[in-house]
Structure 1
């Protein structure tokens, strides 16, 4: 159980680090219209997706926290119930990390921070999958 919580904590740290990388480094260097570099009207799409990612990250972290607290109370309950609570609490975290990979690779593939953010989002996805509660023997 402790190992699972550490993996989930590592997933949360990776997700926060990836959002920080996208927020502080490459988003200002993205060109809104690559065909016309003088076209600077409006807000770049990557900025909109970055704000969406930050909002989804906050919501998914809140749900993951609630799910972790519920896992503590359900540790003596049937395994099927624990798995369903884990899945419901962490589906937003998984979808946020996959959206982060998509945004990083679609818009920021030419920046080192964008590639690092994509790798951190993938690592967060992997840690969530590794943190699935195991059936007691």
Structure 2
């Protein structure tokens, strides 16, 4: 009788372990499928957010060694104007990245909404990213276009604008 109890307990434990691992496997497949759907739908938006961060870094690297007073290099008092503009750009860029990220999250929730509503939400949350990219291009081209990071940052800002335009929702 004791052998029979141990055998049935072993079977129950084995079945429970199999059910538990099967359930975990099913849950991981559901999460993996949801992640793949999210990445397929919003990979250009996520790429534009990432590239915007890289462009902001290039903006900072292009302007970190600018002289305070370009007409008098021995004058080292104060903060260069371009550094002030880049600091403002970084602050606005942080808000733009937060809004664009929030827009991606909201777009996952409104996948079944009407086309016009999806476009309005997209424009509302991504317009600041485009305007901040335009401001970054203006700052880099106006002050520090002679450095490698400035040219690279300007090209990446253009890529961000292109990716945002490409990722506008389409009427399917």
Q: Relative to 1, partners in 2 of residues 1:3 and 1:114: Cα closer, same or farther, differing over 3 Å?
A: same
Closer, same or farther: CA 26–2 of 1 in aligned 2, 3 Å: closer
Deviation at 1:21, TM superposition (A): 1.7
Residue from 76, 83, 108 that aligns with 1:47 = 83
Q: Structure 2-normalised TM-score?
A: 0.73
Higher helix share: 2
8 Å contact from structure 2 (residues 49, 101) kept in 1 = no
Query: Higher Cα Rg: structure 1 or 2?
Result: 2
Q: Which residue of 2 aligns with 1:96?
A: 132
- Per-residue CA distance 1:16-36 (angstroms, 9 max, x = gap): 11111222x232332233222
CA-CA distance at 1:108 after TM superposition = 1.1
Per the TM alignment, residue 37 of structure 1 is displaced from its structure 2 partner at its CA by 2.1
Matched-pair contact (CA < 8 Å) for 1:18–1:117 = yes
Do the aligned residues in 2 keep the contact of 1:32 with 1:40 (CA within 8 Å)? yes
**Mean Cα displacement is larger for which, 26-35 or 115-124?**
26-35
Q: For 1:29, what is the secondary structure of its paired residue? A: coil
Bigger Cα displacement from structure 2, 93-102 vs 3-12: 3-12
Tell me which moved more, 4-13 or 88-97: 4-13
Residue 81 in 1 paired to residue 103 in 2? no
**Length-normalised TM-score, structure 1:** 0.91
**Residue 16 of structure 1 pairs with residue 44 of structure 2:** no
Unaligned stretches of 5+ residues in structure 2? 1-37
| Cα distance in 2 between the residues matched to 1:42 and 1:30 | 12
Output the CA distance in 2 between the equivalents of 1:8 and 1:119. 17
C-alpha distance after superposition, 1:17-76 (max 9, x if no partner): 1111222x2323322332222232211111111111111111011111111121112111
5+ residue gaps, structure 1, are none
Deviation at 1:6, TM superposition (A): 0.9
